[in-house]
């Protein structure tokens, strides 16, 4: 008898660990989600389940802290915040608690606007050129973001800068970015489309900050690019007013730095020592000497390529972008809906024209935005300049510079400029 009892106890002891593991596995909760992405302003449904749910209530945990409970059959929860979630079931009558479920990671989409900017700013890049794309997330300055880029490849960075070194055929195409921070996820930016050209103009001009209108005392840097080692930065302000940087700025190498004043409004371009011309840009200075609340329209200084995106905004001196702004195109109200920017996702020839903005009864000066056809490359043989002003109407001053090259000997060359035509309309 005693021998039989010992055998039964031995069998019980041998089976107990296995049975306990099985019971523990059966008592583990399972958490599922109808989506792993939480849209901005939306919700995600989570469901906590156990093998035999009769009589169970459920806890939902986030970061190992109980955030809510439910007695609803199926353990259904609706959440509006991202993060790592787990759950467990319990019976109040017996104080039985299941094991925690595995974690479910929910990413939360945020509405921060994401944009891609270029340096240099042209969407047309040249074979062998180095281009830097920057991912900018508005309103996320205090968040530590990791960045994703499209197209993604083994060299795609996780930083806000995407550098293309020595551009090739594979560099052309659409580029987008977005940001991640823990469970936060931005949407993708609008695409920036790069086109590749094998021909590089002999000279180019970049402006920083890249806009037409400026405040007095703004610091502006103009930079000449190309193969030359000798550069002149030129400015035209009207008949008999053609001068170089040494008269109104500080020239150092290929750069001309200006502290903007009223007399700096005009058309600027680069000339190389061998006579090549860059594209020309028009810049105006806001007449705000007697008005600390002077306002400008922020618009691109260079022509915008067809199909590209562009944003226009309004600024007061010392302030960021303004909200509740009205935008006008060729004196017709184009947008008045409380937004702070005028965003054009795909520029066409119809978008070319004069733009200005209005805020709290104050109107900016107008600026011309030019649109460049994809099939029409920008010429660098000579600049065709357009200055817009107002004196009893709009005065168009077209400076047509012809370059005539002649040589007195093998080692001597000089250039001369011909006529300036002014047309009053």
Question: If DSSP codes are grouped into helix, strand and coil, which group holds residue 351?
Answer: helix
For residue 253 the two structure tokens come to 């190498």
User: What's the rounded Cα separation, in Å, for the pair 200 and 9?
Assistant: 91
The full set of domains in the chain, from first to last, is 25-108 (2.60.40.10), 111-197 (2.60.40.10), 203-379 (2.60.40.10)
pTM as predicted: 0.51
- Alpha-carbon Rg for the chain, nearest whole angstrom, is 33
Higher pLDDT, 384 or 355: 355
Give the count of beta carbons closer than 10 Å to the beta carbon of residue 236: 22
Which pLDDT score is estimated for 93?
Answer: 87
The number of C-alpha atoms within 13 Å of 152 and in the hemisphere containing its C-beta is: 8
* pLDDT confidence bin for 312, thresholds 50/70/90: very high
What is the average pLDDT value for the chain, to the nearest integer?
80
Cα angle at 59 between 54 and 65, to 5 degrees? 165
Which pLDDT score is estimated for 124?
Answer: 82
Higher pLDDT, 248 or 398: 248
Question: Is the bond into 120 cis (omega within 30 degrees of 0)?
Answer: yes
Mean pLDDT of 415-419: 29
Task: Say which DSSP state 189 is in.
Answer: P
Mean pLDDT of 386-403: 36
Which pLDDT score is estimated for 199?
Answer: 64
Question: What percent of the chain has pLDDT above 70?
Answer: 78
* pLDDT confidence bin for 290, thresholds 50/70/90: low
- Is the pLDDT at 384 greater than 70? The verdict is no
At 292-302, the pLDDT tens digits run 568 899 999 99
How would you classify residue 410: left for phi > 0, otherwise alpha for psi between -120 and 50, otherwise beta?
alpha
Which pLDDT score is estimated for 403?
Answer: 32
At 149-204, the pLDDT tens digits run 998 665 678 889 999 988 888 888 899 999 999 899 999 999 999 988 776 667 88
At 327-349, the pLDDT tens digits run 999 999 999 887 889 999 889 99
Largest CA distance in the chain: 131
Place of tokens 């703004």: 218
């Amino acid at each position: 008898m005693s021998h039989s009892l010992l055998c039964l106890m031995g069998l019980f002891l041998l089976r107990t660990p296995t049975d306990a593991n099985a019971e523990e596995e059966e008592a583990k909760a399972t958490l599922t989600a109808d989506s792993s992405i939480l849209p901005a302003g939306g919700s995600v449904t989570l469901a906590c389940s156990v093998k035999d749910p009769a009589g169970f209530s459920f806890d939902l945990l986030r970061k190992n802290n109980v955030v809510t409970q439910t007695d609803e059959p199926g353990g259904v929860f609706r959440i509006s915040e991202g993060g790592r979630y787990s759950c467990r079931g319990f019976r109040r009558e017996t104080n039985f608690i299941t094991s925690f479920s595995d974690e479910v990671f929910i990413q939360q989409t945020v509405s921060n606007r994401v944009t891609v900017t270029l340096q240099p700013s042209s969407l047309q890049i040249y074979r062998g050129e180095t281009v830097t794309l920057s991912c900018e997330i508005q309103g996320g300055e205090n968040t530590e973001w990791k960045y994703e880029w499209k197209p993604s490849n083994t060299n795609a960075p996780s930083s806000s800068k995407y550098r293309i070194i020595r551009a090739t055929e594979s560099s052309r195409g659409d580029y987008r970015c977005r940001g991640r921070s823990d469970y936060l996820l931005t949407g993708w930016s609008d695409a920036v489309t790069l086109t590749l050209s094998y021909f590089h103009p002999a000279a180019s001009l970049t402006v920083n900050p890249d806009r037409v209108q400026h405040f007095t005392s703004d610091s502006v840097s103009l930079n000449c690019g190309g193969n030359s080692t000798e550069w002149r930065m030129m400015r035209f302000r009207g008949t008999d007013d053609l001068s170089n940087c040494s008269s109104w700025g500080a020239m150092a190498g290929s750069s001309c730095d200006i502290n903007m004043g009223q007399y700096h409004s005009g058309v600027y371009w680069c000339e190389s020592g061998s006579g090549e011309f860059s594209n020309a840009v028009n810049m105006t200075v806001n007449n705000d000497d007697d008005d600390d609340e002077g306002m400008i329209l922020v618009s691109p200084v260079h022509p915008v390529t067809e199909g590209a995106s562009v944003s226009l905004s309004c600024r007061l001196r010392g302030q960021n972008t303004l909200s509740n702004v009205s935008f006008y195109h060729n004196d017709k109200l184009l947008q008045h809906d409380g937004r702070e920017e005028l965003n054009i996702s795909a520029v066409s020839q119809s978008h070319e024209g004069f733009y200005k903005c209005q805020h709290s009864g104050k109107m900016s000066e107008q600026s011309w935005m030019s649109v460049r056809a994809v099939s029409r490359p920008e010429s660098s043989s000579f600049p065709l300049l357009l200055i817009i002003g107002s004196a009893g109407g709009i005065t168009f001053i077209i400076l047509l510079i012809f370059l005539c090259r002649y040589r007195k000997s093998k080692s001597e060359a000089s250039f001369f400029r011909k006529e300036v035509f002014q047309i009053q309309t």
